[in-house]
Amino acid sequence: MSRNKQHPAETVAVIGAGPVGLAAAAHLVERGITPIVLETGDGPGAAIRQWGHVRLFSPWQFDIDAAARRLLEANGWTAPNPAHLPTGAELVDDYLAPLAALPVLEPHIRYNTAVVAVSRYGVDVTRTVGRDRRPYLVRTRDQAGGYTDVIVDAVIDVSGTWGRANPLGAHGLAAPGEVDAAGFMAGALPDVLGAERERFAGKHTLVVGMGHSAANTLLNLADLAEQADDTRITWAIRGGSAARLYGGGDADALPARGKLGTRLKQLVADGKLTMVNKFVIDEFVPAPAGAGSVTVVGRSGDEAVKLDVDVVVAATGFRPDLEMLREVRLDLDPGVEAPAKLAPLIDPNFHSCGTVPPHGEKDLAHPDEGFYLAGMKSYGRAPTFLLATGYEQVRSIAAALAGDREAADAVQLELPETGVCSSSPTTENADGSVTFAEPTASDCGSGGGCGTTQPVDTGKGLATGVLHGYSGEPVELPVLQAAEPAGGCCGNQPANA
């Protein structure tokens, strides 16, 4: 039987066993609700494993959910050094794996289980009468291709956006030849100095994108070029200037992230890499069989450009998988592809990570009661997600599902102040410094959250370079970046957030 506002949920499907997914499970357990965690990978944080070599911008003190910490410490777990900047692998090994192995959580997690569809039991999306009284059906597929339907009272989709990269072509579409050139493409955070070194050493690499994931890869490639002759680097951005990515330097509340922009700017100034700005990719033309290169055809302003490269690093961000939710009644913003109430608060055209106000269950609810998008997936195509935000989202959702409206509405999130993230335009001064304009009240959206001083990335977010925040010395960061929106220079959450 489906539960409503007067009847707390008893079972909840949690799609994804990443940091926010496991945090959701921890909050549900504390509320006496049974979670059923469905994870595509073979273990917790499977997506994070793919960028395990990357170091977060944020120290441990900001990377652990409160409910998860309580459960872990009750079982004798000792938190890592709070000042240490963990790698993605350490985040999994020292936090997510022990959390997932707890007796109160482990029996409720199903690995190697892909969710292929979500619906209301017995009706399709067009049926209205009696809809709210029905539970949810979550259809899953195992590695052998077998299907299993899971029936639950509510669903929290925290499956992230990792694995669904934005295309490199113009207009939001894959360029002609882009699909056929897949063999030349590297992910957003390749292990340039480690496992994938031979792929890049002595080769010409094109890095496309202006987020922290691109920055980290560029810094690592520059280090590789010092070691391996004939290693060449071209950096292509869609904008006219990289001033936003260069950031605030020493003004950044997260020092590792501040160094990222400073080092990258110096590499450009020293000619260690070639930058092509205002670059629009029109076509990919693979070289004749055996040549091992691809020609990227495009334009820089009015000038035609052809780049013959060996590898293309696609660091232009990610987008959510909404196909699996076609039978759920969603209320999504048509541009950001985030919940309609949340979208104005995170729109990257107006907001960066520090200007997003705290938000909870009410902002994440959809017409189908009991269904929620949370974590990175709730931000749609916006690159401003922070891990701490995801933790607060699922805390609020768990409270609402338990019938505790007061706790669900008491949403709080403190962000340290810094000049790095601003909703207002960034300008590069004649002396090379960067100015972050002060936000106005209209910059802040209906939820408020801005002051005279611009707060920024709480550092509680996965400063992982992709989806979200890494550095290059030694910190790296993946940033989820849809195209190249104005104003976002924060670490976001990579997959299964």
Rg, C-alpha atoms of the chain: 22
Name the domain boundary from 314, 347, 377. Answer: 314
Q: Is residue 422, in this structure, part of any structural domain at all?
A: no
Which range marks the domain in which residue 75 is found? Answer: 11-163+318-409
Name the domain boundary from 391, 409, 427. Answer: 409
Sites in the chain below the pLDDT cut of 50: 1-4, 6, 250-251, 416-497
Residues 155 and 228 reside in one and the same domain = no
Give me the pLDDT at residue 352, please.
57
pLDDT tens sequence across 196-212? 999 999 999 999 998 87
Q: Is residue 494, in this structure, part of any structural domain at all?
A: no
Residues 91 and 188 reside in one and the same domain = no
Residues 75 and 202 reside in one and the same domain = no
Q: Is residue 472, in this structure, part of any structural domain at all?
A: no
Total of domains in the chain: 2
Expressed in percent and rounded to 5, the helix, strand and coil fractions of the chain are: 30, 20, 50
Strand residue runs (E) in 167-221:
185-186, 204-208
Residues 219 and 284 reside in one and the same domain = yes
Handedness of CA 446, 246, 205, 280 (dihedral sign): positive
Residues 53 and 99 reside in one and the same domain = yes
Give me the pLDDT at residue 8, please.
85
Instruction: Report the SS3 class of residue 325.
Output: helix
Residues 26 and 94 reside in one and the same domain = yes
CA distance 383 to 365: 21
Name the domain boundary from 280, 314, 348. Answer: 314
Residues 247 and 307 reside in one and the same domain = yes
Q: Which pTM value belongs to this model? A: 0.81
The neighbour count for residue 43, using CB atoms within 10 Å, is 15
Give me the pLDDT at residue 133, please.
85
Tokens of 309: 């490269």
Give me the pLDDT at residue 415, please.
52
Q: Is residue 102, in this structure, part of any structural domain at all?
A: yes
Residues 298 and 341 reside in one and the same domain = no
Residues 207 and 121 reside in one and the same domain = no
Q: Is residue 468, in this structure, part of any structural domain at all?
A: no
Residues 15 and 147 reside in one and the same domain = yes
Residues 126 and 202 reside in one and the same domain = no
Q: Is residue 416, in this structure, part of any structural domain at all?
A: no
Q: Is residue 299, in this structure, part of any structural domain at all?
A: yes
Residues 211 and 310 reside in one and the same domain = yes
Give me the pLDDT at residue 490, please.
34
Give me the pLDDT at residue 121, please.
96
365: left (phi over 0), alpha (psi -120 to 50) or beta: beta
Give me the pLDDT at residue 155, please.
98
Q: Is residue 83, in this structure, part of any structural domain at all?
A: yes
Find the CATH number of the domain harbouring 31.
Answer: 3.50.50.60
Give me the pLDDT at residue 455, please.
27
Peptide bond into 474 cis (omega under 30): yes
